[in-house]
Structure 1
């Protein structure tokens, strides 16, 4: 699609569609500033303060774009938030240029994703060489448990800084 075709289509969008397009454009712009991937920026994932240094906390707002036809957050979105929280914690915890990839993840759904925000709390369960076992709980803004997850991550060694 050309730039002109895109601009022509924008003229036909509803106000609701314009909001979704603005969110997409903001996510693309924010990627340049915060170096966080598009999906995290699109979902509005932000790091939260945590009083417990053995945990990592992040959250995302619940908006129309993440709701399924039953008006609850898509299960895959909730699982993505947990995956991001666990990976983000590892990248914050490890110095250098090392990266992490998810090898395995188990998700247990306990309650529908409703409310205004989802809050993910990640922690390390175990580490054996380059394999990290993680856990994450996702709650809504009413402190109701929505999801519990466990994940196995591989540390990709990228050398020293």
Structure 2
């Protein structure tokens, strides 16, 4: 689809559908500024202030675009937040240059994702060479435990040149 076709398609959208396009464009623009991946920007994931050096906290708003037909956050979105929190902690707190990829992740769902925000708190469980074991708890803004997750991550070393 070229730009003219895209603009013509946008002209046919409802106001609600235009909001989704606006959110997408904002996510693309924010990627240039904050260097955070598209999905994190689209979901509105932001780092929270955390005085504890042993944990990393980030959160995302709960909006219509992440709700399933039952009006609760899709489980995959909640799991994505946990995965992002664990990976982001490793990249930010452990190594500023290296990257990390998820090798394995297990998620337990405890409560429906409801409220206004989801808050993810990640921590390191163990590290052996280039393998990191992580854990993450996701609560809603009312303090209800929504998800517990564990993940295994591989550290990819970047050259220091």
Does TM-score exceed 0.5, indicating one fold?
A: yes
1-structure distance, mates of 2:90, 2:4: 42
1:119-158 to 2 correspondences below 5 Å? 119-158=119-158
CA-atom RMSD, angstroms?
Answer: 0.8
Unmatched segments (≥5 aa) in structure 2: none
Q: Residue 33 of structure 1 corresponds to which residue in structure 2? A: 33
2-structure distance, mates of 1:110, 1:79: 12
Please state whether the residue corresponding to 1:36 is helix, strand or coil.
coil
1:1-161 to 2 correspondences below 5 Å? 1-160=1-160
Please state whether the residue corresponding to 1:22 is helix, strand or coil.
helix
2-structure distance, mates of 1:154, 1:128: 10
Please state whether the residue corresponding to 1:41 is helix, strand or coil.
helix
Please state whether the residue corresponding to 2:57 is helix, strand or coil.
strand
Instruction: Report how many residues are paired.
Output: 161
User: Would you say the 8 A contact 1:96–1:160 is kept in 2?
Assistant: no
Please state whether the residue corresponding to 2:101 is helix, strand or coil.
strand
TM-score, normalised with respect to structure 1: 0.98
| Post-superposition offset of 1:96 | 4.4
1-structure distance, mates of 2:94, 2:116: 32
Point out the more displaced range, 90-99 or 33-42.
90-99
Point out the more displaced range, 51-60 or 90-99.
90-99
TM-score, normalised with respect to structure 2: 0.98
User: Would you say the 8 A contact 1:72–1:114 is kept in 2?
Assistant: yes
